[in-house]
Amino acid sequence: MGLDFDFEGESNKPSIKRILLEVFIWVAQIAAVIFLAYIIVYYCVEKTNVIGSSMESTLAANDPIIINKFAYRISDPKRFDVIVFKQSGKEHSFYNIKRIIGLPGETVLIKDGNIYINGEMIEEYSIVEPMINYGLAGEEISLEDNEYFVLGDNRNNSEDSRFASIGNITRDEIIGKAAIRLSPFNFISKLNLKGQED
C-alpha cells in the first residue's frame, strides 16, 4: 500500500487563506472609507454653491463654499456669523446663506437705516448699503429662545428675516457655518469687512 499524499493540494491551502484574508481586508478598508466619508459629510463638512446675489459683496452667485457643520455642535452661533440653513416646508427648500444679526431672546428693530438690538444701535460688521425696505423689522421683533434674525449682506436685494417668506430662523434649521470660499480661496469671516476699504 502506497502513501498517497496530495502535496499540491496542501501547498494551495495557505495561498487560499491568504487570498481570503486579503479580500476581507480590502472589503473592510472600503467599508471604513465609506463610513468615514459619511461621517465627514454628515457631521463635519460639506461643499455647496451660493445661490443668488443676496450675500454680495461678501459672496457672489455660484461661489463654491465649505460648510463647517461641526462648529455649532460645540458652540452656539454668534452675531455676524455667516450661516447656511434650510427651511423644510417653506417656499424655498434649498440651502440659504445669510448673516446672523439677532440672537435668541433679543429684540430687533430697523429704524432710520440702523439696526437696533434690545433698543441699542449696533455697528455693522460688513460693508453694506443702507436699507431701503425694513420689512417686518420696521416694528420690533422679539426672538424666541431658539430663533435667529438673519440678513443678506446685499441688503436691498435679499429675501431674509425681514420678510414672511423667510422669517426668523430656528436653531434646528441651521446646517452649519459658512467657513471657506474655495475660489478664490479665503475664509468667509475675513471677507468684505469694515475697515478693509482702501
Tell me the catalytic residues. Answer: 54, 98
**Whether 72 contacts 185, CB under 8 Å:** no
Computed on alpha carbons and rounded to an integer, the radius of gyration of the chain in Å comes to 27
Cell of 57: 459683496
Residue for cell digits 461661489?
Answer: 63
Residue for cell digits 463635519?
Answer: 44
Closest residue by Cα to residue 134 from 150, 153, 111: 111
**Whether 30 contacts 23, CB under 8 Å:** no
Q: How far apart are CA 191 and CA 165, in angstroms?
A: 27
DSSP 119-186: TEE---SB--PPPS--GGGGS-EE--TTEEEEE-SSGGG--STTSTTT-PEEGGGEEEEEEEEETTEE
